[in-house]
Each structure stands twice: as structure tokens, then as C-alpha cells.
Amino acid sequence: MRLKHNCVRSRENKKVTAEYIAERYLEDFRSNPTWKVKKIRDRVLQDLGVQVTYFRAWMARCRAKLIIFGSAREQYARVWDYGKALMKHNPSYGCNVVVDGIEQPEAPLFLRMFVCLRSLKDGKILVAVSKDGNNKIYPIAWATCEAENKGTWIWFLESLMQTLGSAYGSGFTFMSDRQKGLVEAFSQVVPEAETRLCVRHIWASFKLKFTGSVFKELFWNAARATTQLEFEIPMQQIKELDEEAFDYLNKIPTVHWCRHAFSENCRSNMLLNNMCETFNAVFRDARDKPILTQMEWMRRYMMSRNNEKWEDSKVITTNLTPYAHKLFQRMSYVSRNCIIQAARDNTYEMQLKDDQVLVDLGNRSCSCNHWQLTGLPCIHAFACIMDQRADVEQYVHPYYSMATYRAAYELAIQPMPGPKHWDRVNMREPHPQAIKVQPGRPKLKKRKLEPGEGTSASRGQQGGQKRKNQCRNCG
């Protein structure tokens, strides 16, 4: 026996396999699914004194996700079972699943899945991702599809309109950042709806050709203008600077990006599409999960969010939402500088700095057009209401009342049992309530997706392998 050793201790150990790491640190993976590979290697080195390769740590994370979230192969096989369970435990749910190759003996190819919650639909929401009366994000529907193009956007809008009970989008307002194929889908599916374009995305394209702080200031002044005259002044200045820049903006219809041309139906003067980007950020933690784990993650998130909003609404004792109260508190300071001249009955002439406007409290209008656009009295109208010593709450649109706000979150998103308790659905004979078939839709043909085009869901024989192209969510 050699009791004295001169060799250096090795940090390699073949028994520390990916399976061993996944099982040893399973709870750590469960609490932190996005655990970085570098952090995993550092943790193993610290605990075991063994230095594992990058590939082994990556495989350990994949195996842990397989244990925690289940096999993608098994989940794609039960997509229709999940759709039926959704509608069973939450009546009037909107669930639309599209597969390809259902007539063939081999396993069908999953393409798309659309989910719209009943409780959110009954809240009278205008868009798939909208605002509630407290100026907070209000999601209504989301979908996973194989690619983002005109065809998938048409399918998404048709599913949404079918769930909301509207044929051509009348009374609805949609805002987008002109994603690929979405504008064409609007004109085809919801031709009667009002459509807006995200002004920030218009500016992003505009500034590539016409740079400078002057163009930026004039562009945003034109977009924010609530009257025709306020809009024409910056546009004329842009024309004097560069006629090509003026022609570029003039080709975009003002009803899509200028406040003065917006209709009063929406009760919102939004110019940006930040809500959709915020909602997409919520999906970030669910994007790399198998299809049913992804959908369940979103359902639980919405169930928890809906309950939190409902509980918060119980402690609010005012008649208006906190957003409206904060807005009026800020107005109370500025309104002291207003010079008010009563004309007759409820009509006023009001001066603020170098601006003079006409306010008609009886018709709930102001020549600045802010009141008509939002349903909330503008600073001019607020000053006139205070002059009458009237209650400002009487002049606010019911959309901003706590009664409407509570109604939006009153219906709970019901809990669901696990997959062991789901009823089986024969994919060759779809359940008439679980799957809503769209009449007149052309048969989808199988094709190979190109890299970066989204994802195709794996067929049965593809197992739980991680696909390079991940599912896109059409929220």
C-alpha cells in the first residue's frame, strides 16, 4: 500500500451523470426552471468537487424539465382532451384546436391552439389584450400556432370573433404594430372594426429615413393632436422641412395613428401597443415548456390574477376606479390657473394659458376633444365642474366606475383537475363542444417549416426532443 501520493486530485467523475444531476437538484430546477448552465456547473463543483462539462449540465437541465413538465410527445397526444376538460369545468370557454392529417392513419400534426376565458369574455373587453377601467392590462385570449402569417392571424381573429359573438368586428377597436399579415387579416375578418397602428412602430420606420430631434418632436405633436388644427400645424412644418417626409406620413390614413381622427367608441386615446408587449413578456417563462404545460401555466396565471383583482376591488370604497381619482387629483392643482366665463346654462368659455376652448357640460364635450375620446372630463371640463360645485363623478363614463370594474372580474376562472381525470376524446370524431370547427375553411396541407418560421409540434414518433423552432404565441 502506498500511503504517500504525489498525484493531483482529479475533478472528473463519470458517475456524476446528467441523470444524477437532474435527480439530485430536481427541487432546485423546479423552483428555478431557467437555471443557467453555468450556474449548474458551479453548483456541482461547489457541492461535489466535480467539474462537469457544459453538455452534461445542459442535458441535466433538459432531463429535469422532462421530469417536471412531462413529455412533449404525451402532451401533444392529449391536446384535445385538454380542450374538452377546459370547456367541461368552465362552461362557455372558447377553445379551438387545429391539427393536420386527421384522415391519415399516422399521428396527426398539431398546428394551433386558441384559448379564450369565459369570465374575461363576459367582461365586455374590446381587444384580445385591452385595458380595464383602472387603466391596467386586461388579457382575454391567446393562442399558440405554427407560424406568424396572414393565415394564422385570420384563424386567430375568426376564433376570437366567434367567441365574442361578433361577425365583422362592429363596435370593436384593434391596435397592432403591423405584424406580418395582421393588417390584411383585419380587413378580411373584421372589416367593420376600428383599427389603429402603434405610433411607436410608425416612428421607428419613419426615423430610419428622416432623423433628427426636430422631426421627432413634430411627429409626436402630430400624433398626439386631438384637433384638426393642432394636427395640421406640425404636419405643415414637416412639409417645409422635407416634402418627402410629409408624403411618407400623409400616405398613412390619420384614422390609424392620429388622436384627432379616432372615433369616440373606444373611450381610449391610446397611441402605443405596449399592453401586447407586456402580455408577451408574461409568456416568456412558458415559451419553452410543452404545449399543455404552457397552456396550464397561462390558465393558472390568469386564474390567480383574476382572483387578485377581485379581492383588491372589495376594499375600494369609492364609486370611481383609483386611476380616475388620481387623474382628478392632478387636475385639481392645474385647474386653479383656469379662467372660466359662463355663457348660458351648462356652456362655458375657458382659458388656460394661451388656449381658449368651449365646454358644454350638458353634452359632455369640450372643443379640445379629450373628453369625447376618453370618457373622462378633461382639465377644461373639470374646472367648469368645480366652478358649478358639482360632483365630477356624474360626468364620468360608466366604464371607469367600480361597478363596471367589479363586473369585469366577478366571474371566477374555475379550477381544473389533473390529466388523470380528463375525459378521452377520439381525434377522428371530435366532440362538437370541445372543438369548434370553422365552416368554409380550406383543408390545411402538410409542409415542412423553414428555420425561424415558428414551430411545428412534434408528431407522435418525435418524442420529447426539444425543437429548435419554438411555438409563437399570438396574444
Tens-digit pLDDT profile for residues 148-181: 888 888 888 888 888 887 778 888 888 888 777 8
Q: Is the pLDDT of residue 96 over 80?
A: no
d(CA 98, CA 437): 9
- Determine the pLDDT at residue 208: 92
> Averaged over 6-10, what is the pLDDT?
72
- Determine the pLDDT at residue 326: 93
> Averaged over 127-150, what is the pLDDT?
81
293 or 304, which is more confident? 304
d(CA 255, CA 245): 19
> Averaged over 69-74, what is the pLDDT?
67
Q: Percent of the chain, pLDDT > 90?
A: 33
> How high is the mean pLDDT of the chain?
80
* pLDDT band for position 92 (cuts 50, 70, 90): low
- Determine the pLDDT at residue 448: 38
* pLDDT band for position 435 (cuts 50, 70, 90): very low
d(CA 43, CA 371): 59
Reduce the secondary structure of the chain to three states and give it as a string. Answer: CCCCCCCCCCCCCCCCCHHHHHHHCHHHHHHCCCCCHHHHHHHHHHHHCCCCCHHHHHHHHHHHHHHHHCCHHHHHHCHHHHHHHHHHHCCCCEEEEEEECCCCCCCCEEEEEEEECHHHHCCCCCCCEEECCCCCEEECEEEEECCCCHHHHHHHHHHHHHHHCCCCCCCCEEEECCCCCHHHHHHHHCCCCEEEECHHHHHHHHHHHCCCHHHHHHHHHHHHCCCHHHHHHHHHHHHHHCHHHHHHHHCCCHHHCCHHHCCCCCCCCCCCCHHHHHHHHHHHHHCCCCHHHHHHHHHHHHHHHHHHHHHHHHCCCCCECHHHHHHHHHHHHHHHHCEEEEEECCEEEEEECCEEEEEECCCCEECCCHHHHHCCCCHHHHHHHHHCCCCHHHHCCHHHEHHHHHHHHHCCCCCCCCHHHCCCCCCCCCCCCCCCCCCCCCCCCCCCCCCCCCCCCCCHHHCCCCCCCCCEECC
Q: Is the pLDDT of residue 473 over 50?
A: no
107 or 39, which is more confident? 39
> Averaged over 127-139, what is the pLDDT?
82
Cell of residue 185, nine digits: 387579416
> Averaged over 402-421, what is the pLDDT?
87
Q: Which of these ranges, 116-130, 210-224, 277-291, has the smallest mean pLDDT?
A: 116-130
Q: Percent of the chain, pLDDT > 70?
A: 82
Q: Identify which of 11-20, 39-48, 87-96, 174-183 has the greatest average pLDDT.
A: 39-48
* pLDDT band for position 324 (cuts 50, 70, 90): very high
- The closest of 274, 300, 278, 305 to 289, measured between CA atoms, is 300
- Determine the pLDDT at residue 181: 82
Q: Is the pLDDT of residue 80 over 80?
A: no
Q: Is the pLDDT of residue 328 over 90?
A: yes
Q: Is the pLDDT of residue 32 over 90?
A: no
Tens-digit pLDDT profile for residues 42-60: 999 989 888 899 999 998 9
Quick one: CA dihedral 95, 98, 104, 106, positive or negative? negative
Q: Is the pLDDT of residue 469 over 70?
A: no
Q: Identify which of 33-47, 120-134, 287-301, 418-432 has the greatest average pLDDT.
A: 33-47
